[in-house]
Amino acid sequence: MDRTILISVANLNHGGLETRIAGELRYLRSRGYKIILATASEKAAADELGLAYDHAVFGVPFDKALTPDRLREMVLLLSDTIQERGVTEVWAHPFPSILPAVLAAERQGIPRRVFLHGPLSLAEQGYGALWMLVLRQFILPAAEEVVVVSEEVREVAAAAALSPLKRVSVVMNGVNTEVFQPQPASLPPRKRILVVSRLDRPRVKVIMPLLKAVAAHEGWGVDIAGDGTARTQLERAARMYGLTPDRVDLLGVRHDIAELHGDYDIVAANGRAFLEAASGNKLCIHLGPEASPFLVSKADFEALRTCNYSGRDIGERTGDVIALLERMTDSEAQTYRLRDVVIAGADERRILESWGVPDLSFVSSPVAGLLALLEEDVVPADVSISNHPGFLTRMRRLAWPAPGKLAFQDFYIDFLEISRSNLNDRTWRAEQKLRQLQREA
């Protein structure tokens, strides 16, 4: 039977999630699958990313602040697309695009895969407290397969789900090694570092120590490919460290990273951008949340791989990365050239072929109850579901219908209210109590 996959993704930015999807699409179409893309973005965004698909629905109103009318609109739109295009399974990517895609698949009786791209895919910031309940109680257990990018995320998903998961597959991020090829390098390396990163607040925070290190060494400079809401903060930091305009250049968003690599011997990044530089055999400085910028060796690569190259749990690193680069010899540099370990463990096509996209069979799940609940006149059509106590009350009884578990249900509503307060210590205590009650229920 021909397989046609509907892939839902909220927004198409130039980031790791979108690059991952681009790789999946290349692989799937090479295997003869038909691809239907559903996204809130417009066609220009898909074209910039070079996404390969057979048909697309652009401008889908994915929104986590949902009203019943908006959610029904999305479910019906996706359901109609599934019928018209002969879709045989749904792949749902974060964030707001997951729920309507899973509901549409349930409505049409076809299997679904839910993709979690990191711990933040299960963080309240992505959905809000209500959608965390929906994700944990309904969506993850409903999925015929949950696909995660690392063992770390598999453990988080298993702990978060409030019902057993049917199947969890670890399909790690990879890189297109045919696009990111080795290019000539020089030693000592050119004293200019390419940083590839979004410029949101968390990323800028980890770039700042590198700027400080560069400022301390005469003749060194940095070029930054990327943009974001914290760009001004980064510019201020560069001035504070004494980096003159000739020593730091913000290049903005670039879609030609593989070509841009050719002008640099050293690239600083994390996540997928780090993988791309490693595939090109660059000297790679890792920018992570828990350690100072450090030059990645082959041994470090394996440690980074377990947490999706994010740098979580890598441990503190000390030392002057610029001084290390200045004194590096040809023989020492081979320890930091990573192309061979990327080919062995992070080649995109090999990873996807190893997974193999196993066949799935649809199994009806309690998520069907959410479809019925949407048809009830519980919430005014223009009021956000997440702010309406009547909907919460109906949903908790849908989630835990068995007699004798009302204390658990009532506690979870309290947990949602505490979560909304953003008081992290209270939320943590509520979560511990929740787990205790779940074990006792």
- State the helix-helix crossing angle for 367-375 and 389-399, rounded to 10 degrees: 150
Q: What's the whole-number mean pLDDT along residues 153-160?
A: 85
Please check the confidence at residue 441 and state whether its pLDDT lies above 50. no
pLDDT digits (tens, 9 = 90+) for 256-289: 999 999 999 999 999 999 999 999 999 999 998 8
pLDDT digits (tens, 9 = 90+) for 241-264: 999 999 999 999 998 999 999 999
pLDDT at 217: 95
Q: Which residues pair with 194 in a beta bridge?
A: 223, 267
Mention every residue, 6+ apart, whose C-beta is less than 8 A from residue 318: 292
pLDDT digits (tens, 9 = 90+) for 93-137: 988 899 899 999 999 999 999 999 888 777 655 556 666 777 877
Q: What's the whole-number mean pLDDT along residues 156-176?
A: 88
Share of the chain above pLDDT 90, in %: 56
pLDDT at 355: 96
pLDDT digits (tens, 9 = 90+) for 63-99: 766 677 788 889 999 999 999 999 999 999 988 899 8
Please check the confidence at residue 139 and state whether its pLDDT lies above 80. yes
Beta-sheet pairing, 283-286 with 294-295: antiparallel
Whether the Cβ atoms of residue 81 and residue 144 lie closer than 8 Å to each other? no
pLDDT digits (tens, 9 = 90+) for 338-355: 999 999 999 999 999 999
DSSP readout, 363-429? Answer: ---THHHHHHHHHSTTS-TTS-GGG-HHHHHHHHHHH--STT-HHHHHHHHHHHHHHHTT-HHHHHH
Decide which of 427 and 368 is more confident: 368
Q: If DSSP codes are grouped into helix, strand and coil, which group holds residue 30? A: helix
Please check the confidence at residue 420 and state whether its pLDDT lies above 50. no
Decide which of 198 and 422 is more confident: 198
| 118 CB-contact burial (10 Å; exposed 0-12 / middle 13-18 / buried 19+) | buried
Give the tokens for residue 267.
Answer: 């690239």
Please check the confidence at residue 378 and state whether its pLDDT lies above 70. no
